[in-house]
Amino acid sequence: MWLVGLAIYFVAVFHRSSLAVAGLTAADRFDISASQLATFTMLQLLVYAGMQVPVGLLVDRFGSRSVLLTGTLLMTLGQTGFALAESYPLALVARVFVGMGDAMTFICVLRLVSSWFPTRRIPFVTQVTGTIGQAGALLAAIPMTWALSHLGWTTAYLIAASAGIVLGVLALLVLRDSPAARTLRGPSLSFAAVRTSLAASWAHPGTRLGFWMHFSTQFSATTLALLWGYPFFVRGEGRSPATAGFLLTVIVVAIMCAGPVLGWLVGAHPWHRSTAVLAIVSAIVTIWTVVLLWPGNAPLPVLVVLAFVVGIGGPASMIGFDLGRTSNPAERLASASGIINQGGFLASLLLVVTIGLILDWRTPGGSTTYPPSAFRWAMSAQYVLWAVGLTQVWRYRRRTRAVVSRDELEGVVRAPA
Ligand SMILES: N[C@@H](Cc1c[nH]cn1)C(=O)NCC(=O)O
């Protein structure tokens, strides 16, 4: 069950990232400017973040199997539309469908993990899910670049879309919501029930802690990987395109290395989940400060450390979902995960837009040849998000610890007195 869900999530990450290497071809095909190109990424993030809570509610109501199948269908339709679109507005509509399908995937897989694995394995399997799923971005980078240049736009994207048909059929035949039932159905979704369920999830400080953990940890990596990393390394730090590509790969390597380690750590020391997040965000802030204060271009080893430490933020964000799991009953798990999953994507959306605005503001003459000083200003916008995120993690960590029993969390069984 897990492998089927994981395969669909892997393909969702592949679809999500498949535009990153097609930017120049897309600009030619649709005859669009750089900001119109960036609109694709913003729209996708907006749809993804906006759908998290509704998707969580749908999963709690209709089960992961039904929602995952719907998501796979939407992504496949979207990617097929993108392959065939010849105008910018049609391509935007197709990207909205890809974003909607993508938004339906991860929460379903988290729910499958909690239904099919013993409790003590869940933190580790959740991390491995994120780690393997994120490798879909690697598939989007290398084979997709080859396919676009050798097979052309339409064939490359149609082949990508066909993965959804194969996985959709597999999921239809194989997937079960839980060992006890092929399809689980929760209570019906009246407006009052939805409000009560969301309010109950949000009222638990553990859900809020999870949201702010997700918010603080992943935006730096997401923003670099999806849009601004390449221009920052090339224009802001004077590196060659090949070195910029290498630095973006270091982010993915960091995700692969840190995911299983954090999964083990969270399973073994659940009481210290927020300490791990505070330490990782502090490390990210420190290395960014070194790079931004470096006189002139930072040396390559420092940029490698930056890419690696920022990459660790991706798996660190998964710790937020573990807070959601231990703070909510099973029937509210998916909606709590939806609330938490909004954090990092909202922060990334804010940052993607703010960096664009600051670059335009600090670049003379409306040109897109952004100078290194403009990148320093733009990347410094992250301090506002870190300040908000770290303050909230600190506040809600204290509140969560006040209502959660450490012994229960750590599974300590005390002998009767
Ligand atoms: N933080 C990511 C997943 C991740 C895991 N390792 C690195 N990144 C996340 O929130 N994922 C949701 C999704 O849909 O990808």
* Structure confidence by residue, pLDDT tens digits, 203-214: 999 999 999 999
Instruction: Please state the pTM of the whole predicted model.
Output: 0.89
Pocket test for ligand 1, best of 6, 72, 134, 252 (most atoms within 8 A of CB): 134
Tell me the mean pLDDT in the region 15-41. 80
Nearest CA to ligand 1 atom 5: 130
Decide whether any atom of ligand 1 lies within 6 Å of the 131 Cβ. yes
Q: How far is the CA of 227 from the centre of ligand 1 (A)?
A: 16
Tell me the mean pLDDT in the region 71-90. 95
Is a pLDDT exceeding 70 seen at residue 231? yes
Please state, in angstroms and as integers, the Cα–Cα distance from residue 335 to each residue in 55, 271, 341, following that order.
7, 23, 10
* Structure confidence by residue, pLDDT tens digits, 357-382: 898 888 877 666 789 999 999 999 99
Nearest CA to ligand 1 atom 6: 315
Nearest CA to ligand 1 atom 8: 314
* Structure confidence by residue, pLDDT tens digits, 240-292: 988 988 898 899 899 999 999 999 998 899 999 999 999 999 999 999 999 99
- What are phi and psi for residue 404, nearest 5 degrees? -110, 140
Is a pLDDT exceeding 60 seen at residue 417? no
Instruction: Report the alpha-carbon distance of residue 67 to residue 330 in Å, rounded.
Output: 17
Q: How far is the CA of 91 from the centre of ligand 1 (A)?
A: 25
Nearest CA to ligand 1 atom 2: 314
Instruction: Report the alpha-carbon distance of residue 272 to residue 278 in Å, rounded.
Output: 10
Q: State ipTM.
A: 0.94
Decide whether any atom of ligand 1 lies within 6 Å of the 52 Cβ. no
Pick left, alpha or beta for residue 55 (phi over 0 → left; psi -120 to 50 → alpha; otherwise beta). Answer: alpha
Decide whether any atom of ligand 1 lies within 6 Å of the 314 Cβ. yes
Closest by Cα among 140, 107, 122, 191 to 23 = 140
Residue 137 has what pLDDT? 81
Nearest CA to ligand 1 atom 3: 130
* Structure confidence by residue, pLDDT tens digits, 381-398: 999 999 999 999 999 999
- Residue 317, C-beta contacts closer than 8 angstroms, at least 6 positions apart: 213, 214, 217, 218, 343, 344
Closest by Cα among 100, 14, 45, 97 to 351 = 45
Instruction: Report the alpha-carbon distance of residue 117 to residue 65 in Å, rounded.
Output: 16
Rounded CA Rg of the chain: 21
Decide whether any atom of ligand 1 lies within 6 Å of the 255 Cβ. yes
Decide whether any atom of ligand 1 lies within 6 Å of the 231 Cβ. no
Instruction: Report the alpha-carbon distance of residue 327 to residue 127 in Å, rounded.
Output: 18
Residue 2 has what pLDDT? 95
Residue 103 has what pLDDT? 94
Pocket test for ligand 1, best of 253, 318, 337 (most atoms within 8 A of CB): 318
Instruction: Report the alpha-carbon distance of residue 376 to residue 289 in Å, rounded.
Output: 10
CATH code at 2-177+198-414: 1.20.1250.20
Nearest CA to ligand 1 atom 7: 314
Buried b (16+ CB within 10 A) or exposed e, 276-287: bbbebbebbbeb
Contact 327, 402 (CB under 8 A): no
Decide whether any atom of ligand 1 lies within 6 Å of the 318 Cβ. yes
Token representation of residue 373: 């000083």
Percent of the chain with pLDDT over 90: 65
H helix runs in 175-272, sequence order: 191-203, 205-223, 229-231, 241-268
Tell me the mean pLDDT in the region 156-181. 93
Contact 313, 281 (CB under 8 A): yes
Instruction: Report the alpha-carbon distance of residue 391 to residue 177 in Å, rounded.
Output: 38
Instruction: Report the alpha-carbon distance of residue 288 to residue 302 in Å, rounded.
Output: 10
Closest approach atom of ligand 1 to CA 321 = 10
- Domain range summary for the chain, segments of one domain joined by +: 2-177+198-414
